[in-house]
Amino acid sequence: MIEIEKNSTQLGGLGRPGAAMGTVASTGITQSNGASDLVTAHIRGQEITTNQLKANYLDRSDIKPTRKRYLILLLFCLHSAINAAQWIYLSSITSTVSKYYQVDNMAVNWTSMVYMLVYIPLVVPSTWLFERIGMRDSILLGSLGTTLGSFIKCFSCQPGRFGLLMSGQTLVAVSQLFVLSVPPRLASVWFPDHQVSLANACGVFGNQFGIALGFVVPPLLIDEGLGSIEQISSSLFQLFVGIALFSGTVSLLIMFLFDRTPSKPPGLARLQQIKQEEALAEAGAEPLVIDGQKSTSSHGGFGALLWDLFTDINFVLLMASYGLNVGVFYAISTVLNQMISQQWTNANSLVGQLGPLLVVSGMFGSVISGLILDRTRMYRLVNASLYTFSLVSMVLFTATLEWHNMVALYLVVILLGYFMTGYLFIGYEMSNEITWPRPESVTAGLLNLSAQVFGVVLTYLGSYIVDNYGNLLANIFFVVSLSCGLFITLMIRAQLKRQSAMGS
């Protein structure tokens, strides 16, 4: 039986990244209120104080970042990119796909929305599996699933095979469950403390790069002016085969080059986690994961962890605000072709330019935000600022579409992408701060769950409104959604627990 008691003495460095906070049903752990509070653990009648758990933390010789961390990050980014590209690549040529398969716009948009839909019921079991088998095997599983789904779509290049197309797309969508939660975990396991935020941003960067490719490549291969079904079939086959071969190559690289963990912890936070796990294991507490970030006890701890997170009001508020922001981004990305085709000719070509601007500017937003956070640690200010500017940019986007000015549209899309896509990473980092030392993969998974729920609802309603009532009403709907998200963001009042533990 493990029992945690709060004492009045203050210490820095308490807790373990990737460990559950709160009550763990199987072991009886009761969380203290502050990440920096001194605690005493009674494990099977044996008392272990925080000082004992920290006894050998200050041996900096145990810390050594490895250069291979950059290869690990690159492999993950390639895998994330090829999966993310398939989220949007058919919606970026909605009119052509609709014509070829003889389905309506909403059916084509479901190739995007299926990514969000499958995430909702599967995020909890996939997160549990992630914690069980570890990060490396989870990434490999997702990569193999992406490759298989990509090859299935190669056989769907006939007008009557939209169902087969959706089967392959659904398998790729399921595989993204082992992508979206990885960046914060990979950053904490492989990178030193001063690079964690930047590495997290680069992990998100890979996903956004894939989305940009999904906007750029299809319009280049499949021109809106293609007249015959045979020409469209040939172009689609080239697109599907190219993606499948690239995905297969990445899977092989991950299989042979992606290590489970570095030989030594890269930073103090990771070292603290490993040492505490060792101390608890010696005292009789069994870890959940052996080869990755170990988290909760093996019996019932995962359910208790979820309960603990869902009863944390600040995390629930963050889930709602993050879901609204990212959900609007998903919706805008999906229905962009529908919006543009109502007011401009050659919509595929224009979306093929606007989509990448939306995403690439967001990549820079993510990386610059990561640099700012690493230097300033001003999490609340950066979080609220990005959300505010996301709302302002959405208002400008709404006005620009009605204004019909091409130059202004390009500029506003850059702003919208910079702030809205840049927020994807900030949400992860804010979550890590206010929930530390809970497992990053679990908190990131729940953030993404919220994003998928809001994404499905906002995309479906946005697509319906655009087709039936026009762009203006749809964009007003998105502005209102972001306004609600900003209000919720300003309500978050949480301690930055990871920074307190690191003494920042």
- Residues 118-138: pLDDT tens digits? 988 998 888 888 878 888 999
Q: Which residue has the higher pLDDT, 334 or 76?
A: 76
Q: Which residue has the higher pLDDT, 157 or 262?
A: 157
CA distance 387 to 483: 9
pLDDT in tens, 47-104: 444 444 444 444 566 677 788 899 999 999 999 999 999 998 998 888 888 889 999 8
CA distance 308 to 131: 17
CA distance 183 to 377: 19
Query: Can you read off the two tokens belonging to residue 475?
Result: 């964009």
For 47-95, give the secondary structure using H, E and C.
EEEHHHHCCCCCCHHHCCCCCHHHHHHHHHHHHHHHHHHHHHCCHHHHH
The reported pLDDT for the residue numbered 227 is 64
494 pLDDT more than 80: no
336 pLDDT more than 60: yes
The reported pLDDT for the residue numbered 172 is 97
Q: Which residue has the higher pLDDT, 492 or 500?
A: 492
487-504 average pLDDT score: 71
- Residue 320: which H helix or E strand, with range? helix 313-343
Query: 406: burial class by Cβ within 10 Å (0-12, 13-18, 19+)?
Result: exposed
The reported pLDDT for the residue numbered 207 is 86
Q: Which residue has the higher pLDDT, 502 or 224?
A: 224
390-407 average pLDDT score: 89
CA distance 186 to 441: 9
Please tell me whether residue 39 adopts helix, strand or coil conformation: strand
Please tell me whether residue 8 adopts helix, strand or coil conformation: strand
20-36 average pLDDT score: 37
Maximum C-alpha span of the chain? 78
The reported pLDDT for the residue numbered 500 is 62
271 pLDDT more than 90: no
Contact criterion met (CB below 8 Å) for 318 and 430: yes
pLDDT in tens, 157-208: 999 899 999 999 999 999 999 887 788 888 888 888 778 878 887 887 788 8
pLDDT band at 279 (very low <50, low <70, confident <90, very high): low
495-499 average pLDDT score: 64
- Residue 41: which H helix or E strand, with range? strand 37-43
pLDDT in tens, 454-471: 998 999 999 899 888 888
The reported pLDDT for the residue numbered 182 is 87
Domains of the chain: 63-287 (1.20.1250.20), 301-503 (1.20.1250.20)
Q: Which residue has the higher pLDDT, 27 or 327?
A: 327
399-418 average pLDDT score: 88
15 pLDDT more than 60: no
Lowest mean pLDDT, pick from 33-42, 137-146, 431-440, 481-490: 33-42
Q: Which residue has the higher pLDDT, 33 or 19?
A: 33
pLDDT band at 243 (very low <50, low <70, confident <90, very high): very high
Of 183, 442, 121, nearest to 296 (Cα)? 442
